[in-house]
Amino acid sequence: MDITKETAALLGRLGVNTDSIVGGDLPVHSPVTGEKIAALKSMSSAEANQAIEQAHEAFKAWRLVPAPKRGELVRLLGEELRAAKADLGRLVSIEVGKIPSEGLGEVQEMIDICDFAVGLSRQLYGLTIATERPGHRMMETWHPLGVVGVISAFNFPVAVWSWNAALALVCGDSVVWKPSEKTPLTALACEAIFARAVKRFGADAPAGLLKVLIGDRAIGEALVDNPKVPLVSATGSTRMGREVGPRLARRFARAVLELGGNNAGIVCPSADLDMALRAIAFGAMGTAGQRCTTLRRLFVHESVYDAIVPRLKKAYESVSVGSPLETSALVGPLIDKPAYDNMQKALQAAGANGGKVTGGARVENGHDAAYYVRPALVEMPGQVGPVLEETFAPILYVMKYSDFDEVLAQHNAVGAGLSSSIFTRDIQESERFLSADGSDCGIANVNIGTSGAEIGGAFGGEKETGGGRESGSDAWKAYMRRATNTVNYSNALPLAQGVSFDI
Ligand code: UN1
């Protein structure tokens, strides 16, 4: 099959001008075969700032459109995404290497957040608060914030944009999006899909509501440093967050940071082991270990260790690895060679720290520049060396435990704090895990894995994961500015706190 041709055909069907994907300086490779499938032209920083200026102008008009009407645009976006689901899902598989159900699942996540945001567009409400002064009313009002900058990572190239964009748009904001330079094609597809929704919406949608910035780090920096961008929502490594966070803080801009995860699961004595096995397999091997929610550490109680770990190893040895485009394999490729090298480095370090490695070898598929690996399960004597770090690859470190308090402490003894799960049928254990001195993560699950969160909940994590929350619940509040209003409808002017100031 000719992936380059198929990519161009898909992009054409999705509405992208295919002349724009050839002859540029920014090569795009498909991890499925490693071949170059496009070359886009990078924008200059000046062009990026110009795009931000246009988005700012769009914001000034969009903020005056009533929120439920703004919701109508997002409803149309959801419709367009439904129509484009098969093509966009396939493009995700080509550009990121996801298996078909995960490529389509990512688009489904986009449709879901659109539905959520449409409902939200009639629910952007503030409180009315009791005031201490007679004849007064105090309330809070939520107003549109401005241009929302979105920096997304390669592994969820379209869903993470949609979580931010759908909320931002109903909140009255415009969006400037810097996709990963590894996955700009799916971003161009989303831009075209959005343009169709805008066209159907009509004249009330100002030009410039969504701008996509194509380029490398310099473009991202232009977005982070531009004073007309009051919020940047950035997904990526903790290293990236350490740079972006302080830069935003310096100009008092808001940051929604969704950074690394080093997610753990605990298998307790009473766990349903069949269920745990399936959840662990998907959480650790799914998406070739390239989700921020991927299960990376597993603590197994000594009483069930021998009942589950050998079965897990078997699953690791038998899981199918192969092209997501041509086979029904469950594990696709790593994104590129650096990802493969990092995986091998971590496995070597694990071995040096006493780990017993199952799997991890490269799987040949006839393409030298594609990096398929067998997922690796590593039995570790303790939580040392690479276990403490996130390696963005399918490596699961397995450790034995005997004491619940001790395992809770171990669970929390890493830098990241994104997702976590416990497998137990003991209510005391599950409630402890969810309690104030339980899991310290933004996501804590019982009897399901660490990955695959629904959009209805707030998504994000603590500590080195960055603290931001996107998607459902009240995450929308980060995309608006809150004004506290006190109205005096009396004839007197009583001062708060009993202060008198009679002139
Ligand atoms: C990510 O990996 O950046 O919970 C996002 C999940 C998905 C989102 C992952 N819904 O695994």
Does any domain span residue 298? yes
Backbone angles phi, psi at 214, to 5 degrees: -100, 125
CB 72 within 8 A of CB 169: no
Which residue, 405, 343, 339, 342, is CA-closest to 369?
Answer: 339
Whether 462 is a known active-site residue: answer: no
Distance from Cα 417 to the centre of ligand 1, integer Å = 14
CATH code of residue 287: 3.40.309.10
**Confidence grade of residue 212 (pLDDT, cut at 50, 70, 90):** very high
Atom from ligand 1 closest to the CA of residue 453: 4
* CA dihedral of residues 483, 488, 494, 495 (deg, nearest 10): 10
Q: Which of 481, 470, 453 is nearest to 166 (CA)?
A: 470
Do residues 409 and 475 both lie within one domain? no
- Could you give the percent of the chain with pLDDT greater than 90? 100
The secondary element (H helix, E strand) that includes residue 92 is helix 67-96
Supply the pLDDT for residue 456: 97
Q: Check if the beta carbon of residue 439 is closer than 8 Å to that of residue 420.
A: yes
How remote is the CA of residue 102 from the centroid of ligand 1, in Å?
Answer: 11
pLDDT of residue 165: 98
Closest atom of ligand 1 to 290 CA is 2
502 inside domain = no
Q: Are residues 147 and 39 in the same domain?
A: yes
Q: Quick one: which atom of ligand 1 is closest to the CA of 443?
A: 4
Task: Tell how far the Cα of 292 is from the centroid of ligand 1, in angstroms.
Answer: 6
Amino acid letter, 436: A
Substitution site in 101, 161, 258, 292 for ligand 1 pocket (most atoms within 8 Å of beta carbon): 292
ipTM of the complex: 0.97
Task: Output the CA 244–ligand 1 centroid distance in Å.
Answer: 21
Question: Is the residue at 477 inside a domain?
Answer: yes
193 within domain boundaries: yes
Q: Are residues 197 and 331 in the same domain?
A: no
Same domain for 302 and 213, yes or no, is no
Q: What is the pLDDT of residue 359?
A: 98
Task: Compute the distance from residue 149 Cα to the ligand 1 centre, in Å.
Answer: 19
DSSP 112-163: HHHHHHHHHTT-----EE--SSTTEEEEEEEEE--EEEEE--SSSTTHHHHH
How high is the pLDDT of residue 37? 98
Both 255 and 310 in one domain: the answer is: no
Reply yes or no on whether the pLDDT at 454 is more than 90. Answer: yes
Same domain, 304 and 241: no
How far apart CA 369 and CA 339 sit, in angstroms, is 12
Q: Give 451 Cα–ligand 1 centroid separation in angstroms.
A: 6
Ligand 1 mean position, distance from CA 460 (Å): 9
pLDDT at 403: 98
Tell me which of 83 and 365 has the higher pLDDT: 83
CA dihedral 161, 162, 163, 169 (to 10 degrees): 110
* Residue 270 contacts residue 436 (beta carbons within 8 Å): no
Ligand 1 atom showing the smallest separation from residue 454 Cα? 10
Residue 407 has pLDDT above 80, yes or no: yes
pLDDT score at 18: 95
Residue nearest to atom 3 of ligand 1 (CA): 292
166-175: pLDDT as tens digits: 999 999 999 9
Q: What is the pLDDT of residue 449?
A: 97
Assign residue 60 the CATH number of its domain: 3.40.605.10
Concatenated DSSP letters for 341-400?
Answer: HHHHHHHHHHHHTT-EEE---EE--S-TT-BEE--EEEE-SSS-GGGGS--SSSEEEEEE
Q: What is the pLDDT of residue 230?
A: 98
- Rounded to the nearest integer, the mean pLDDT of the chain is 97
Beta pairing class for 254-258 and 263-267: unpaired
Task: Using CB atoms within 10 Å of the CB of residue 4, give its burial: 0 to 12 exposed, 13 to 18 middle, 19+ buried.
Answer: middle
Q: In what order do the strands lie in the sheet with 174-178?
A: 210-212, 174-178, 147-151, 231-235, 254-258
Which residues, listed in sequence order, are joined to residue 321 by a DSSP beta bridge? 331
Cα(294) to centroid(ligand 1), Å = 8
> Span 215-227, mean pLDDT?
96
| Averaged pLDDT for residues 287-312 | 98
* Residue 489 domain flag: no
- Coil, helix or strand for 95? helix
Q: Given the CA of residue 261, which atom of ligand 1 is nearest to it?
A: 2
Burial class (CB in 10 A: 0-12, 13-18, 19+), 384: middle
Pocket probe for ligand 1: among 113, 237, 459, the residue whose CB has the most ligand atoms within 8 Å is: 459
Answer yes or no: are the C-beta atoms of 170 and 200 closer than 8 Å: no
The rounded radius of gyration (Å) of the Cα atoms in the chain is: 24
The answer to whether the Cα torsion of 138, 142, 146, 152 is positive or negative is: positive
- Output DSSP code: residue 15: T
Q: What letters, b where the CB count within 10 A reaches 16 and e where it falls short, cover 233-265?
A: bbbbebebbebbbeebeeeebbbbbbbbbbbbb
Ligand 1 atom, smallest distance to 294 CA: 11
Total domains in the fold of the chain: 2
Residue whose entry in the numeric block shows the structure tokens 């780090």: 217
Residue-number span of the structural domain to which 15 is assigned: 3-259+466-484
Segment 301-313 shows an average pLDDT of 98
Residue 107 lies in a domain: yes
- Do 183 and 317 share a domain, yes or no? no
29, 176 Cβ separation under 8 angstroms:
no
User: Are both 49 and 194 inside the same structural domain?
Assistant: yes
Mutate to test the pocket of ligand 1, among 291, 335, 420, 443 (most ligand atoms within 8 A of CB): 291
Is residue 363 pLDDT above 90, yes or no? Answer: yes
Q: pLDDT by residue (tens digit) across 315-342?
A: 999 999 999 999 999 999 999 999 999 9
**Per-residue pLDDT reduced to its tens digit, 75-116:** 999 999 999 999 999 999 999 999 999 999 999 999 999 999
Q: Are residues 231 and 317 located together in one domain of the fold?
A: no
What is d(CA 408, CA 439) in angstroms, rounded to the nearest whole number?
7
- Using one digit for the tens of pLDDT, what is the confidence trace for 49-65? 999 999 999 999 999 99
pLDDT at res. 1: 77
| Sequence-distant (≥ 6) Cβ neighbours of residue 239 within 8 angstroms | none
pLDDT for 248 beyond 80 = yes
226 and 287 in one domain? no
- If one residue of 156, 182, 420, 421 were mutated to test the ligand 1 pocket, choosing by the most ligand atoms within 8 A of its CB, it would be 156
With a cut of 80, say whether residue 405 has pLDDT above it.
Answer: yes
Residues lining ligand 1, judged by CB closer than 6 Å? 109, 155-156, 160, 235, 291-293, 451-453
Return the closest-CA partner of residue 123 out of 174, 68, 199, 73.
Answer: 68
Phi, psi (rounded to 5 degrees) for 213: -100, 115
* Cβ atoms within 10 Å, residue 69: 13
Asked whether residue 361 carries a pLDDT value surpassing 90, the answer given is yes
Count the neighbouring beta carbons within 10 Å of the beta carbon of residue 12: 14
Q: Which residues contact 340 (CB under 8 A, 6 or more apart)?
A: 334, 362, 371, 373, 393
Give the containing element (helix H, strand E) for 285.
Answer: helix 273-285
Task: Identify whether 496 is part of a domain.
Answer: no
Residues 383 and 441 both lie in one domain: yes
Supply 13's token pair.
């069907």
- The CA distance from 7 to 37, in Å, is 7
Q: Which candidate in 72, 106, 109, 258 is catalytic?
A: 258
Same domain (yes/no): 146, 122? yes
Tell me, yes or no, whether 498 lies in a domain.
no
